[in-house]
Structure 1
Amino acid sequence: MEKKLAIVIPFYKIDFFEETLVSLASQTNQNFNVYIGDDASPHSPEKLIEKYNKNTNFYYKRFDHNLGGKGKLSEQWERCIAISDQDEEWMMILADDDYLSTNFVEVFYRKLEHIKKSNITLLRFKMRRVSEENNFLTDLEQPILYKAQDYVWDDECHKRFISISENVFARKIYEEKKFRKYPLAWRVPMMMYMDFSNNGMVLGINDAFVAIRRSNQQLSWREDVSQYKTQAMELFYFDIINEYGYSFKKNQNLKFLKVYTYYKTDKRRFKKSLFKLYSEYGGILEVAKFYIRSFKSKK
């Protein structure tokens, strides 16, 4: 059977990596390949990879220079994907501290015919939250069909959250869109939902899960990279309003606009002025509030 799934792991931390590899070696369906791109980590994973590569479907490449620590996490993801076989029609980015249920690949293939008939290009699997010690926290099931814009809004309102590991996406849509180059890949998965679904529907799958680990060791929570988050927030909120504002309600765009205004550095310009956008989304009251905030910030 032709392998249609590439599991791509951008590797840096070794602390929980063995659990990731165990979950892959234990898959009930081994019809997939794993591509591990080492972001110049000080810890070599090669012995672990050799230990669990019983089906000879793990491929490893070490890169000479680190990108993640420089905030270029999207670029690291993309150079890892470049290792993979172009004939594999579906891909996922699996974090080096997350892992899969043993039936993940089996369920993927079981759903594949339906996925193709539905013309879906982005899948979202059930998420299992686990602690740093791998203790169960909660299961988060997904709606079967849900609009990408609703996922983005739910994340914005903390009703759901979007990460990178729970998603499987079509290679053709990745090649067309690629990842946004937001520093630290902060908010990149959220924009990925809009881009990789063509602002359409996302298919939820609850028969298998991705375990998402809550850990203080994650790159995105390190204090030395916090400046990248600020830069990414400006880029994301600018793009979501500028490119996809038509998909959201006025109150939603107003929320996005307020966050953008907080982070903006005046390097980017909307076609309309901020005053006009505040008027369009919030009316005269929001214009007045924006004017007062702007006046105070100039003092």
Structure 2
Amino acid sequence: MLAIVIPYYKYSYFNATLDSLANQTDKRFKVYIGDDASPTNPLALLETYKHQFDFVYKRFASNIGNVSLVKQWERCIDLSANEEWIMLLGDDDYISANFIEEFYKQIGDIHASNVHVVRYATQIDKMDDKLSRVFMHPKIETSPDSFYRNIFNSSRSSLSEHVFKRTAYLKHGFRDFPLAWGVDDFAWLEFTEFKNIYTINEAIAYIRISSESISRKGYREEQKLKAKYLYFTLIIEKFINKFKKEQHYKLFRYYEKLVYRSNTISFRFWFLLSKFYLTNAYVLQFFKFQIRVVVNKFFKS
């Protein structure tokens, strides 16, 4: 069975989310809605869906998402029962009518692939109501390869298009980065234990970008940068060897730029990158790196 967990706060597009669940061709799912003390109570809206799909609704007494979105996700997941698979669906995102049907059509292959994370094809629903192209993925791909493609803009990823095993969630949990920025990307690495993700390209998750979305440009960019710096530091310091050797150079350079942008130059940073350049016989790059560190440490305006 599949649990669809919705951390609810924004009312504006919530009806579209609920419509997409009501329109599913396969109703083998249960919805758990955790209301983060939203200023707009959705009970009247939910009443209209009472006989269209099975759901549980709980309004929390206090808002926690403003402090930690991850803690809001966690208490919403705690509402669910013992379903093997969990999906965290944004309160403004929505899914194609065959989303659940395709999950069960392919569940045999999913189990045979021994994966803990399943993802779907996606389209971005932009603020001008235009849909992006469909983003599709390899049927089976390692989570490090997926992360790498996403970082370097040859792919995309967000929370709502993923389904994950409860056992993986209970084992690893979500890391609590600021604004929950990058938490999902890092979770797929850990939930899969840096192994494979299975893709369903035959159904679509629609990811809405609106004036209320955290992912919109210009919104709390300093916090997003801090989050990106934190999870990339973990990648470089602890998990770099989970990535292909030919991917290391670009990952180190990306991290270096993040450090300069976030003004977090440290001895450990200098040592790690110096060691990387010298170990791999990037002698010219090693000397260029020393110059960049000095310029960014002492002469950056």
Deviation for aligned residue 1:215: 1.7
Q: Deviations over 1:52-100 (max 9, x none)?
A: 1214511111222223323x11221111111111x20001111111101
Deviation for aligned residue 1:31: 1.4
Q: Which residue of 1 aligns with 2:200?
A: 205
The partner residue of 1:77 within 61, 70, 73 is 73
SS of equivalent residue, structure 1 residue 18: helix
Q: Which residue of 2 aligns with 1:291?
A: 290
Deviation for aligned residue 1:275: 2.5
Q: Deviations over 1:134-159 (max 9, x none)?
A: 44332112211111111111111111
Q: Any gaps of 5 or more consecutive residues in structure 1? A: none
The partner residue of 2:105 within 110, 133, 150 is 110
Q: Which residue of 2 aligns with 1:97?
A: 92
> How far, CA to CA, are the matches of 2:102 and 2:187 in structure 1?
23
Q: Deviations over 1:168-216 (max 9, x none)?
A: 0111001101111111111112212211111011111012111111223
SS of equivalent residue, structure 1 residue 153: helix
**Mapping 1:1-299, distance limit 5 Å:** 4-55=1-52, 57-70=54-67, 72-85=68-81, 87-132=82-127, 134-221=129-216, 225-248=220-243, 249=245, 250-262=248-260, 263=262, 265=264, 269=268, 273-280=272-279, 283-296=282-295, 297-299=297-299
Q: Is the CA contact (8 Å cut-off) linking 1:104 and 1:208 kept in structure 2?
A: yes
In structure 2, the CA distance between the partners of 1:224 and 1:107, relative to structure 1 (3 Å rule), is: closer
Q: Give every structure 1 segment of 4 or more consecutive aligned residues whose post-TM-superposition deviation is greater than 4 Å.
A: 266-272
Q: Is the CA contact (8 Å cut-off) linking 1:134 and 1:213 kept in structure 2?
A: no
Q: Which deviates more, 41-50 or 163-172?
A: 41-50
Q: Is the CA contact (8 Å cut-off) linking 1:35 and 1:83 kept in structure 2?
A: yes
TM-score by length of 1: 0.90
SS of equivalent residue, structure 1 residue 92: strand
SS of equivalent residue, structure 1 residue 219: coil
> How far, CA to CA, are the matches of 1:64 and 1:224 in structure 2?
27
Question: Amino acid of the residue matched to residue 157 of structure 2?
Answer: I
Deviation for aligned residue 1:219: 2.4
Q: Deviations over 1:238-259 (max 9, x none)?
A: 1111222002233233234313
Deviation for aligned residue 1:283: 2.1
Count residues in correspondence.
Answer: 294
SS of equivalent residue, structure 1 residue 36: strand
Question: Amino acid of the residue matched to residue 39 of structure 2?
Answer: P
Question: Amino acid of the residue matched to residue 254 of structure 1?
Answer: F
Q: Which deviates more, 163-172 or 129-138?
A: 129-138
In structure 2, the CA distance between the partners of 1:279 and 1:221, relative to structure 1 (3 Å rule), is: farther
Q: Is the CA contact (8 Å cut-off) linking 2:34 and 2:76 kept in structure 1?
A: yes
What do you get for the CA RMSD once the two structures are aligned? 2.2
> How far, CA to CA, are the matches of 2:202 and 2:26 in structure 1?
14
SS of equivalent residue, structure 2 residue 106: helix
Q: Any gaps of 5 or more consecutive residues in structure 2? A: none
Question: Amino acid of the residue matched to residue 58 of structure 1?
Answer: F
Question: Amino acid of the residue matched to residue 116 of structure 2?
Answer: T
Deviation for aligned residue 1:292: 1.8
Q: Is the CA contact (8 Å cut-off) linking 2:135 and 2:156 kept in structure 1?
A: no
Q: Is the CA contact (8 Å cut-off) linking 1:25 and 1:54 kept in structure 2?
A: no
Q: Which deviates more, 265-274 or 9-18?
A: 265-274
Q: Is the CA contact (8 Å cut-off) linking 2:102 and 2:203 kept in structure 1?
A: yes
Question: Amino acid of the residue matched to residue 185 of structure 1?
Answer: A
TM-score by length of 2: 0.90
> How far, CA to CA, are the matches of 1:251 and 1:109 in structure 2?
40
> How far, CA to CA, are the matches of 2:36 and 2:214 in structure 1?
12
SS of equivalent residue, structure 1 residue 184: helix
Question: Amino acid of the residue matched to residue 158 of structure 2?
Answer: S
